Structure 1
Amino acid sequence: MNQTRKIYGGSIDWLTVFIWLALCIIGWFNIHAAVFDPMHSSLVSLSTNYGKQFLYIIVCVLVACAIMIIDGKFYNYVSPLLYAITLILLVAVLIVGRNVGGNQAWIPIGTFRLQPSEFAKLGSCLLLARYLSSHSNKTPNTGTLLVGTIILLVPIILIMLQPDTGSALTFFALVLVFYREGYVSGQLLAFAFVCIVLFILTLLFSQWYIIGILASLCALGAYLFKRSRKAIPSAVILFVASTLFVLSVDFAYEHILQSHQRNRIDVILGKVDDPRGQGYNLNQSKIAIGSGQLFGKGYLQGTQTKYNFVPEQSTDFIFCTVGEEWGFIGSVIIVLLYLGLLLRIIQMAERQRSSFARVYGYGVASIFFFHFFINIGMTIGIVPVIGIPLPFLSYGGSSLLSFTMLLFILLKFDSNRKGVV
């Protein structure tokens, strides 16, 4: 009886639950619009993707309720087992998985296709939270960081074997967890950002032009801080390191990245203008979103969507349907809902009294932010196209269920934050 009062007596962050439900319903209607079939106009027809999505939403509601009933300490105790199960599934998908679009990422179970990589995010977040929280009273050290990194690298390697680059990249977002817990400095994150900028600039301009600019900047820095004994040696080391990085970009670009990945980057950077070939997906996506203008064309009125000009329009490119039928206003509302959800997640993470719940909360925030930013960014052409879903909007039972579990386990921790999880 006491547990029931904890669940339904107002201790749950109901605003977060409302945002989650709103996004699920909005996604359901947009999937209906994206793959509308006049022969099966019912929103709950199980012979269609939108009917199946309705069923997935019902299952997620039931799972969410079950998560809120189970004692929060259970998720800490069971985290190693969940992590192990997801690794077994990641190995199994390489053996018995179904290849779709060049990725062997799904295990067929009747009419349902299980995507283990989605649940690997949950297992990794829980185990990482358990491990880092067990060292929360100690000074952050390289050994702890190394073990935490290995926890993430194992699923990354298995997912890359599928190969599913998009899902694998999601795990790198968890570096924000290490930053929050003091294992990674802000300087290191800034260094990584500078490397990304240098990588892009080297692809756009001559490497010798970039090296010349770096030499000028290092010389200017050495001159401005000439009173410091370390100024000149530091400038020289920085210049040598950055020069070596710039000189290695072409090799890495040609020999490490796959051809389709290079093509997508070339399209984003404007090095290739191929609207009917490599740039087709992005071009159709931008046309669909732009055609919605301010208020959109109206529900079920999207021509780009209706006539299948937009690729993967119910999964990776679901935001195109929002832009075309709901317009700029509708798109802004969706973005605001996501920002609101992220802020609530971060707020919940910060107010946890348990280090396990706090670390887990930041893991959830990192994964959600990566999916929100990359998915929406690729549809409007600011990041390369990689196949990851938009949480709660994209079609798919595995992604919807895994995102729901990620969120509601945090909600469970938050509802019991006065205790110890």
Structure 2
Amino acid sequence: MNNSFIRKIDWLTVILYFLLVFIGWLNIYSSSITESNGVSVFDFSQFYGKQLTFIGLSSIFIVLILAIDAKFYQRFAGVIYLVSLASLVGVFLFGKTIAGQTAWYDLGFFSIQPGEFAKTATALALAEYLSDSQTNIKHWKYQLKALLIMGAPILFILLQPDPGSAMVFLSFILVLHREGLPSIYLWSGLGLTFLFITTLMFGAIGVCVVTALFLILYFLWRKRRKKMVPVLPFITLFIITVIVTSSVRFTFDNVFKQHHRDRISLWLKLEDDPTRLSEIRRSIGYNTYQSESAISSGGFSGKGFLEGTRTKGGFVPEQHTDYIFSTVGEEWGFVGSSVVILLFTFLLLRLLFLAERQKSKFSRIYGYSVAAILFFHFTINIGMVIGLLPTVGIPLPFFSYGGSGLWAFTLLLFVFIKLDANQINEWEDFNEFR
């Protein structure tokens, strides 16, 4: 790497990355330190010591990622994607099962979760496909191929089964929408989700009646304003509503597994049986309840670093991984939590800014993919920890303990930093070469 390239690196993004990683490590240290294991940060038998190793290796990965020619990531995007799919299939043959999920390769000192790296591979494959001048995402044939690229890793990850990680791949819909995918896909997905949730809460009949009243009032309002009012779309929308709402209960009872039903029931407060509700709270809802209690106990300014009583008492299970933000809330309070949220927000906004200024379509699409993936992880994890969303196994980027997660997010981000630093007009020549 020469001095000219180093000057082109977006150092603001790099600084935000290292700030988040450092703050994340401080909270892993706080959530796993006890009187029995001492206070040495170099105790590599503890979570904080292992995470320090992962951070050190990440720094080496960063140098390697930045040293590779930027064109490599586009030229070999398809190969990287196929290798990623092969690694997802391989876990069923050579992988390790943890908590009922066959999603890891056991390498001795640590485990690798290929599903985390598949996000980068899918982002590269989609960017390469959509950047082709012959690809017209407004045509159904190209839409189908793009959705297949996105859907293949979802299928393999669901079979592990890891629905939380599979959900993150839906973030690519936002990228496809940005690149011209008809809005009907995005709005249909949001509409179906809304119908599913409201039907569970209020029943199919109630939702259908409210929908019918709304459509009638909207129809009359448009007619009163003397605008064209085609009847067929209203009838079609109502029929779709009836079909969807009628199938919700069957889907919920027969497709979702019991622990998924329990999480949704607890989130939407669907359970009326006090005994059953108490049972769900003790099992599925225990983590969220303890997490909310830890965060609320932090108050405005927090109890102080290493002073979290609920953290030190081990009340929140998996506090160093998916529930790491509860440590932030208890020890740093509202102020510290706000700082962390603002840092993530600044990072996301910076990524959107960088993506929009790219000269290469490939780089722009990949940049938006990075922002979308991080946005999904950040939003869902924080929402889960504070009880706004149902519990799903999604880590907080750069914060949650684990080598796979940290390395995968580092790879995802720094590939884009490399692409951004190489904004040159040679991409057109490369496309001709292809």
How far the C-alpha of 1:139 sits from its partner, in A, is 6.5
User: Match for 1:213 among 189, 210, 213?
Assistant: 210
Inter-partner Cα distance in structure 1 for 2:41 and 2:3:
35
How far the C-alpha of 1:37 sits from its partner, in A, is 3.2
User: Match for 2:400 among 394, 398, 417?
Assistant: 394
More displaced stretch, 31-40 vs 113-122: 31-40
After TM superposition, the structure 1 = structure 2 runs for residues 340-359 of structure 1, keeping only pairs within 5 Å, are: 340-359=346-365
Inter-partner Cα distance in structure 2 for 1:124 and 1:22:
27
In structure 2, the CA distance between the partners of 1:58 and 1:139, relative to structure 1 (3 Å rule), is closer
In structure 2, the CA distance between the partners of 1:242 and 1:138, relative to structure 1 (3 Å rule), is closer
Structure 1 residue 76 corresponds to structure 2 residue 82: no
Inter-partner Cα distance in structure 2 for 1:410 and 1:83:
16
How far the C-alpha of 1:128 sits from its partner, in A, is 0.9
Structure 1 residue 15 corresponds to structure 2 residue 16: no
User: Match for 1:28 among 25, 33, 36?
Assistant: 25
User: 2:219 maps to which residue?
Assistant: 222
Structure 1 residue 111 corresponds to structure 2 residue 117: no
Structure 1 residue 370 corresponds to structure 2 residue 369: no
Q: Given that residues 292 and 327 in structure 1 are in contact (C-alpha distance below 8 angstroms), is that contact kept between their aligned partners in structure 2?
A: yes
User: 1:279 maps to which residue?
Assistant: 285
Q: Which runs of 4+ in 1 moved over 4 A?
A: 136-139, 227-230
How far the C-alpha of 1:82 sits from its partner, in A, is 1.3
Q: Given that residues 130 and 137 in structure 2 are in contact (C-alpha distance below 8 angstroms), is that contact kept between their aligned partners in structure 1?
A: no
The one-character-per-residue Cα deviations of 1:348-394 (angstroms, maximum 9, x if unpaired) are: 11000000001111111111000000000000111111101100000
After TM superposition, the structure 1 = structure 2 runs for residues 319-338 of structure 1, keeping only pairs within 5 Å, are: 319-338=325-344
Q: Given that residues 88 and 157 in structure 2 are in contact (C-alpha distance below 8 angstroms), is that contact kept between their aligned partners in structure 1?
A: yes
How far the C-alpha of 1:151 sits from its partner, in A, is 0.9
Three-state SS of the structure 1 residue aligned to 2:48 is helix
User: 2:432 maps to which residue?
Assistant: none
User: 1:237 maps to which residue?
Assistant: 236
Q: Given that residues 301 and 336 in structure 2 are in contact (C-alpha distance below 8 angstroms), is that contact kept between their aligned partners in structure 1?
A: yes
User: 2:391 maps to which residue?
Assistant: 385
How far the C-alpha of 1:258 sits from its partner, in A, is 1.2
Inter-partner Cα distance in structure 1 for 2:220 and 2:233:
12
Q: How many aligned positions are there?
A: 417
TM-score, normalised via structure 2 length: 0.93
How far the C-alpha of 1:420 sits from its partner, in A, is 3.6
Q: CA RMSD in A?
A: 1.5
Three-state SS of the structure 1 residue aligned to 2:16 is helix
User: 1:258 maps to which residue?
Assistant: 257
Q: Given that residues 6 and 415 in structure 1 are in contact (C-alpha distance below 8 angstroms), is that contact kept between their aligned partners in structure 2?
A: no
Three-state SS of the structure 2 residue aligned to 1:134 is coil
Inter-partner Cα distance in structure 1 for 2:229 and 2:354:
43
More displaced stretch, 393-402 vs 67-76: 67-76
How far the C-alpha of 1:317 sits from its partner, in A, is 0.5
* Structure 2 residue identity aligned to 1:253: F
Q: Given that residues 317 and 379 in structure 1 are in contact (C-alpha distance below 8 angstroms), is that contact kept between their aligned partners in structure 2?
A: yes
More displaced stretch, 135-144 vs 337-346: 135-144
Three-state SS of the structure 2 residue aligned to 1:107 is strand
In structure 2, stretches of 5+ residues that fail to align are: 272-276, 428-434
How far the C-alpha of 1:195 sits from its partner, in A, is 2.1
Inter-partner Cα distance in structure 2 for 1:385 and 1:136:
42
How far the C-alpha of 1:109 sits from its partner, in A, is 0.5
The one-character-per-residue Cα deviations of 1:221-265 (angstroms, maximum 9, x if unpaired) are: 221223455432221111111121111111111111111111111
Structure 1 residue 405 corresponds to structure 2 residue 403: no
The one-character-per-residue Cα deviations of 1:280-316 (angstroms, maximum 9, x if unpaired) are: 1111110011111111111111122112210111111
How far the C-alpha of 1:13 sits from its partner, in A, is 0.9
Three-state SS of the structure 1 residue aligned to 2:320 is coil
More displaced stretch, 126-135 vs 264-273: 264-273
The one-character-per-residue Cα deviations of 1:3-53 (angstroms, maximum 9, x if unpaired) are: 512332x21111110010001011111001111133242112111111111
Inter-partner Cα distance in structure 2 for 1:139 and 1:159:
26
The one-character-per-residue Cα deviations of 1:175-217 (angstroms, maximum 9, x if unpaired) are: 01110110232x4323322222221111111321211111111
How far the C-alpha of 1:62 sits from its partner, in A, is 1.3
* Structure 2 residue identity aligned to 1:174: F
Q: Given that residues 225 and 231 in structure 1 are in contact (C-alpha distance below 8 angstroms), is that contact kept between their aligned partners in structure 2?
A: no
* Structure 2 residue identity aligned to 1:172: L
How far the C-alpha of 1:136 sits from its partner, in A, is 6.5
Q: Given that residues 354 and 420 in structure 1 are in contact (C-alpha distance below 8 angstroms), is that contact kept between their aligned partners in structure 2?
A: no
Inter-partner Cα distance in structure 2 for 1:20 and 1:136:
36
Three-state SS of the structure 2 residue aligned to 1:308 is coil
Q: Given that residues 174 and 363 in structure 1 are in contact (C-alpha distance below 8 angstroms), is that contact kept between their aligned partners in structure 2?
A: yes
Inter-partner Cα distance in structure 2 for 1:290 and 1:262:
27
TM-score, normalised via structure 1 length: 0.96
Identity %, equivalent residues: 42
Inter-partner Cα distance in structure 1 for 2:14 and 2:366:
18
How far the C-alpha of 1:418 sits from its partner, in A, is 3.1
Three-state SS of the structure 2 residue aligned to 1:346 is helix
Three-state SS of the structure 1 residue aligned to 2:8 is coil
User: 1:154 maps to which residue?
Assistant: 152
